[in-house]
Amino acid sequence: MNTARRFVLGLGALLLAACAPVETTAEQPMNNVEIRLNRGVCYGFCPDYTVTINGDGQVRYEGRRFVDAVCERTSSIPREDVARLVARFDEINFDQLQDAYRARVTDLPTYTVTLTRDGRTKTVVDYGGTGAGMPETVRELQDEIDRVAGTAQWVLRDGQPVRTPPAH
């Protein structure tokens, strides 16, 4: 095969490889990833807990008040789910968001989302944030973190919000 033909075939293969879709699964390095969602108290019955997901899919929950499980719990999720969550952070340009969105009101819960990746940490504080210009996509991300981590199993009691301490 002549040199020009090999060059054209090699170039074609290179172009095909460059156009191949990039996988956002567990093949991405997730060992230096930690996602944390803290939901804080309000002047009412707001669930008060923290859930942390690491790159290996380990979920750590710490329930404090107005949750069914006032304790620590652990579980695990597939690494692919962690990779999809990280991709969601990138989709909403999490790194470019303000550090805090605070509405000028009282009695709201404070939600804090933190992404640590490759030694860098970005935190966004939401205190009535959509009323202070925070994109709705951040609230959707908070809910997605809860859904993927499975926090409802510890937060809700019989599928309902908790209004009283757990019975012993």
Q: Which residues pair with 121 in a beta bridge?
A: 116
Residue-wise pLDDT tens digits, 120-163: 999 999 999 999 999 999 999 999 999 999 999 999 999 999 98
Predicted model pTM: 0.81
What's the whole-number average pLDDT of the chain? 86
At residue 165 the predicted structure's pLDDT band, cuts being 50, 70 and 90, is: low
Residue-wise pLDDT tens digits, 77-100: 999 999 999 999 999 999 999 999
The predicted pLDDT at position 30 comes to: 80
CA 72 to chain centre: 19
- Strands of the sheet with 33-39, listed across from one edge: 72-76, 58-65, 48-54, 33-39, 111-117, 120-127, 100-102
Q: Which of 73, 140, 91, 132 is nearest to 108 (CA)?
A: 132
